[in-house]
Structure 1
Amino acid sequence: AAHPRVCFVLRSALRYTMKLFVVLLGLVAYTSACSVLDRLKVKRQWSQAFGDGNAREEFGLTLWMDIFQTAPAARGLFGRVNGNNEFSDEFQAHAQRVLSGLDMCISLLDDEGTLNAELAHLKSQHDGRDIPAENYGVFKASLGRTLAKSLGSFFAKDAWDSCFDVISGGIIG
């Protein structure tokens, strides 16, 4: 049988190792969840891809056409803004409102308190609309494809995935 002192030392070492492992795992999870560097990449790439003026309308049209091609049933969520015609003035205005909200959230990625307040506001706007959770995934995938078309090989997919999850998670709740 093992000496009691040896067993105590081994148990203590194992407990210490497990605690260290849990702390390191937490740090990995934290750093992979929209890190400071990810936030800077997303902000810079967004300003390049979203642009200004007519470029924003073009970006929005490309995004929503991809969304509706991927999930045709999603059009039904936009009946009050003429979702059957993404070229209509009503839908174009709605598309720009959505992208303006995303633009604001992206610009606030480095101001957590204000970002959380904005996400709470957006959550309150979306709560009564019965948007299926999977539609946020459709939006994320379409946004990724639209950004990749715009940014090419410079598109930082991992940064966008983790930071978009922060934004959509705040809206979904």
Structure 2
Amino acid sequence: MKVLLVFAALVAITVANTCGPLQRLKVKRQWAESYGHGNERLEFGIFVWQHTFHHSREARSLFSKVRGDNIHSNVFKAHAQRVLSSLDLCIALLDDEDTLKAALSHLAEQHKERNVTPTYWNAFTHSVLRAIENKVGDLIFDEDSWKPCINEIAMGIQGQ
């Protein structure tokens, strides 16, 4: 009996730390609700980048070519939407692993020369999670599903 309980606990821990089919479904659903349309996407992006730069002030320097000094500028808003559109694509592909791997490989190639450190990635993914939680509410937000899935995407873009 004890062996069965230990086995069940290990299975539960493993499932909780993977981006499995149920987690992917939850992530896709919560993303669709959070990311929204039109101006909602702009507001979502501003929230993400304000939060990111608040928690990692040095990350702003990575965006000097796109006016990282002013996240309300049209140049930065356009860049922010490109970044979130790439994330949107990756989330849409969560249930198509081969195509997701190809997309992540392409994004990794684009980011190779940009000196995006794990600290910056952590600040960005943390900010995305807070933005989603802000939109769907903390009672519905499923961080246990999001963390392994967004980490899979971030690690793929980092080329790992």
Distance 1:72 1:31, change over 3 A: closer
Question: How many Å apart are 1:133 and its aligned residue?
Answer: 1.3
Say if 2:114 is the partner of 1:141. no
Say if 2:154 is the partner of 1:168. yes
Identity %: 44
Which residue identity is paired with 2:84? L
Unaligned runs of 5+ in 1: 1-16
> C-alpha distance in 2, partners of 1:150/1:30?
26
Q: Which runs of 4+ in 1 moved over 2 A?
A: 24-32
> C-alpha distance in 2, partners of 1:35/1:47?
18
Name the counterpart of 1:95: 80
Distance 1:60 1:40, change over 3 A: same
Name the counterpart of 1:14: none
The structure with more radius of gyration:
1
User: Please, which moves more after superposition, 147-156 or 93-102?
Assistant: 147-156
* Aligned partner of residue 114 in structure 2, secondary structure: coil
Say if 2:106 is the partner of 1:121. yes
**Alpha-carbon deviations, 1:109-132, whole Å to 9, x = none?**
000000000000000000011111
Which residue identity is paired with 2:87? L
Relative contact order higher in (CA < 8 Å, ≥ 6 apart):
2
Name the counterpart of 1:53: 38
Question: How many Å apart are 1:73 and its aligned residue?
Answer: 1.1
> C-alpha distance in 2, partners of 1:134/1:96?
22
> C-alpha distance in 1, partners of 2:93/2:85?
12
How many pairs does the alignment contain? 152
